Amino acid sequence: MIVNADDFGQSAGINEGIIRCHEAGVVTSASLMVRWPWSWAAAAYARQEPAMSVGLHVDLGEWACRNGEWLPVYEVVSGSDAAAIRAEIVDQLELFERMVERPPTHLDSHQHVHAEEPARSIVAEIAECLGVPYRRGSGRITYCGEFYGQTRDGCALKDAISVARLIEILKALPTGTTELSCHPGLRNDAPGMYVAEREQEARALCDPRVRESITEHGIELISFCDVATP
């Protein structure tokens, strides 16, 4: 199982939460957002911590649900402009490699924007050129996004990020390699609509009962560094 923390670099508190969950919990991997002021601090940690794989968290924008309607918090490029999307992802990739001083171990995206075209094909092409997996793009790695504390319309789901729920997810893991995504953080300083839930995630990911369950069920914790190229 790869336990991957999204949004590395988006805020100081998110950095602290991810680092704590790597050093004291079960996080083995992180996805870096390169255009935020705190991304340089995240990259500095990544450079000195080769045991934690670090991928590029492609950031094309963020949307929040307000009164039942999804509205943009910010947009980097238009989601329908393939040329602009490609140029932006290439720029983010080049910045990642300057910051981390190595290529990304994997690709994914903020709020799963690469699940839709034209971003999907562009991310797939770049991942193939790099020889790295991308989220939901390989049958070799099953993606699990069940450890998340909100509904699709942004309502709180505290039980979904409890220790008990995390252990249930671990018990139900399929055979093979699974990426379990998470969003830990501290300080409640995250932008966007997923804020208070991050501290609860961090507590669960560092709870010793989770580590005990991993051992009990014979789950091997790995990172994207341990996954052979496609």
Question: CATH number for the domain including 117?
Answer: 3.20.20.370
Contacts for 136 with CB less than 8 Å, ≥ 6 apart: 115, 143
Task: Give residue 29's pLDDT band: very low, low, confident or very high (50, 70, 90).
Answer: very high
Mean pLDDT of 32-61: 96
Q: What pLDDT, in 10s, does the model give residues 106-130?
A: 999 999 999 999 999 999 999 999 9
Residue 77 burial (CB count, 10 A): 17
| H helical segments located in 102-229 | 119-130, 163-171, 197-205, 208-216
Number of folded domains that form the chain: 1
Contact partners, residue 30, CB within 8 Å, separation at least 6: 4, 5, 6, 8, 18, 22, 42, 46, 52, 53, 54, 55
Q: What is the pLDDT of residue 69?
A: 81
The whole domain housing 104 covers 2-226
Residue 138: per-residue pLDDT: 67
Who's near 193: CB < 8 A, 6+ residues apart? 64, 65, 150, 154
133-173, pLDDT tens digit by residue? 999 996 789 999 999 999 988 889 999 999 999 999 999 99
